[in-house]
Amino acid sequence: MSLEKLIENLKGYSDEDIKKIKEAFYYARDLHKGQYRQSGEEYIIHPLWVAYILSEMHADADTICAGLLHDTLEDTVASKGEIIELFNEDVANLVDGVTKISKLNFSTKEEERMANTRKIIVGITDDVRIIIIKLADRLHNMRTLEFKKVEKQKENALETLEIFVPLAYYIGAYRLKSELEDLSFYYLKKDNYLRIEEKRNAISSEYSDSLLEMSTTISDVLNDNNIPNEIKMATKNLYGIYKKVDGGAKLSDIHDLLSLKVIVDDKKDCYSSLGYIHSKYKPVDNLFKDYICNPKTNMYSSLHTTLFGKRLVQARIRTQEMDKIASYGLATYWDINKDNARENMQSDLREKFQFFESLIQINSIFGDNSEFVRQIKKELFGDNVYVYTSKGLCIQLPKGATPVDFAYKVGVGDIMVYAKVNDDAVSFDYTLKNGDRVDIITDNLSFGDRDDLLKYATSETTRNKILTRKRDKDI
């Protein structure tokens, strides 16, 4: 990696932007002079790589500058004031934010550190670019983890899975998420990694001819019907396969181990393509998903259908824009929303990405820092289940959640009478499963306190909402 290689990747940036980025490079290089990475390379190679990864997302110039400077506050004599003076306040805040987020630690117990952890977590909603820079930083560190001691490798890999993989998922950056997962998996369970890699490669070469044939057939039928298209073959990432196998699935049952991405011009073509594809290959009945109508909580959208071929193959039908969003999520806004990417990112972050809404809600409920950290860890960074409202809105809940948790999450807990899941009445202790459609039957006239519901609340957030209601009544 070199300044030249970075500059080469900055096509479409203004001369002024490139000048600023060069200045950031020279400044960071001088500050890190004499520092080396464990690989023996000069330290500056690392921030250069981070800036390069950001340039692949077409990040704005301030973000790329911050990528180059991201370790200067922590590891050199640079100060925030100096960065403001030499660059601007935005760059300085980004570098400061990335420095803080590096100290994010869920296993802490001391009150002071817990208060700090809270500040960091709440702070990440101020400017999502901080998360994106941090993910680029972590990605390069994971790519070069071989030079660290074994103990450090495991520690970093675990932290990546616990904190940075969920963050990549929540901003919708699947390409970053998959690579971070597989790198972590490699350092945590090398034997399993190698075994699954070998099996996946065997399957993908065994079926490569038939997959190619499917892809040609689909492309032909779409072309015959005047739907311009591009088709790409893909395999599921190794950690994704491992999680399914670990959960008891056989490799032959994994319906998305092999997939075809069918990229077309617009939404209407997505739906027409689906019909033409089904006219050629029979779909598996219950595996169709319309994430265009009902995007995931991280705004992922596509049509998913699983086809019977020589083995099961998943087709993901989407537009070019949906495909970009599937790779980098919110970070794609730089590419597709050129003029005011930054504002759109920030407003969509708060309005459309459920993670941030939940985070702000949890922050307002829990006064106590340790309670806040515990809830964030459990509800946002733990295992989740995804269910739908009767109107098709996807709702994220912690694994094990009940209809009572759901009702309080969507704001009708206090007036709930009973719950239906997939059209059947269920008891309040029913455990919600992925894909369940939940309908809460309410009665506006009813109820004083809802202590009767407390025993069905599986999260502290739900419990807190029930108790708050009781207090309001008492007053």
Q: Report the relative pairing of strands 424-426 and 289-290 from DSSP bridges.
A: unpaired
Q: Which stretch binds Mn ion (CB under 5 A): 112-120, 125-133, 137-145, 269-277?
A: 137-145
Residue nearer to Mn ion on the CB measure, 167 or 395: 167
- Is 74 part of the annotated catalytic residue set? yes
Binding-site string for Mn ion from residue 40 to residue 79, where x marks contact by CB under 5 A and - marks none: -------------------------------x--------
Cβ-based neighbour number of residue 383 at 10 Å: 8
CB of 47 to Mn ion, least distance (A): 7
48/5 Cα distance (integer angstroms) = 9
Residue nearer to Mn ion on the CB measure, 142 or 203: 142
Which of 8, 30, 41, 74 is flagged as catalytic? 74
Token duo for residue 373: 């950290």
83/444 Cα distance (integer angstroms) = 56
Residue 132 binds Mn ion (CB under 5 A): no
Instruction: Note every long-range contact of 168-171, with CB atoms under 8 Å and residues 24 or more positions apart, other chains counting.
Output: 168/135, 168/329, 169/298, 170/298, 170/353, 170/355, 170/356, 170/380, 171/128, 171/131, 171/132, 171/298, 171/329, 171/330, 171/331, 171/349, 171/353
CB of 33 to Mn ion, least distance (A): 17
Three-class DSSP category at 180: helix
Residue nearer to Mn ion on the CB measure, 71 or 460: 71
Q: Strand locations in 88-242, DSSP E?
A: 229-235
Binding residues for Mn ion, total number by CB under 5 A:
2
Q: Which stretch binds Mn ion (CB under 5 A): 135-143, 232-240, 333-341, 397-405?
A: 135-143
190 burial class (0-12, 13-18, 19+ CB within 10 angstroms)? Answer: exposed
Three-class DSSP category at 402: coil
Token duo for residue 369: 């820092």
Three-class DSSP category at 258: strand
Residue nearer to Mn ion on the CB measure, 62 or 137: 137
40/46 Cα distance (integer angstroms) = 12
Residue nearer to Mn ion on the CB measure, 32 or 465: 32
Residue 137 binds Mn ion (CB under 5 A): yes
Residue nearer to Mn ion on the CB measure, 72 or 301: 72
427/438 Cα distance (integer angstroms) = 12
CB of 48 to Mn ion, least distance (A): 11
150/382 Cα distance (integer angstroms) = 26
Residue 164 binds Mn ion (CB under 5 A): no
CB of 68 to Mn ion, least distance (A): 11
Three-class DSSP category at 1: coil
Rg (alpha carbons) of the chain, rounded to whole number: 24
From residue 433, alpha-carbon distances to 270, 290, 302 in Å are: 28, 18, 22
CB of 98 to Mn ion, least distance (A): 8
Token duo for residue 69: 């400077």
CB of 179 to Mn ion, least distance (A): 17
Residue number of the CB atom closest to Mn ion: 137
Residue nearer to Mn ion on the CB measure, 47 or 329: 47
CB of 46 to Mn ion, least distance (A): 6
CB of 138 to Mn ion, least distance (A): 8
Which of 8, 41, 75, 265 is flagged as catalytic? 75
Residue nearer to Mn ion on the CB measure, 137 or 269: 137
Which residues lie near Mn ion (CB under 5 A)? 71, 137
Catalytic site residues? 74-75
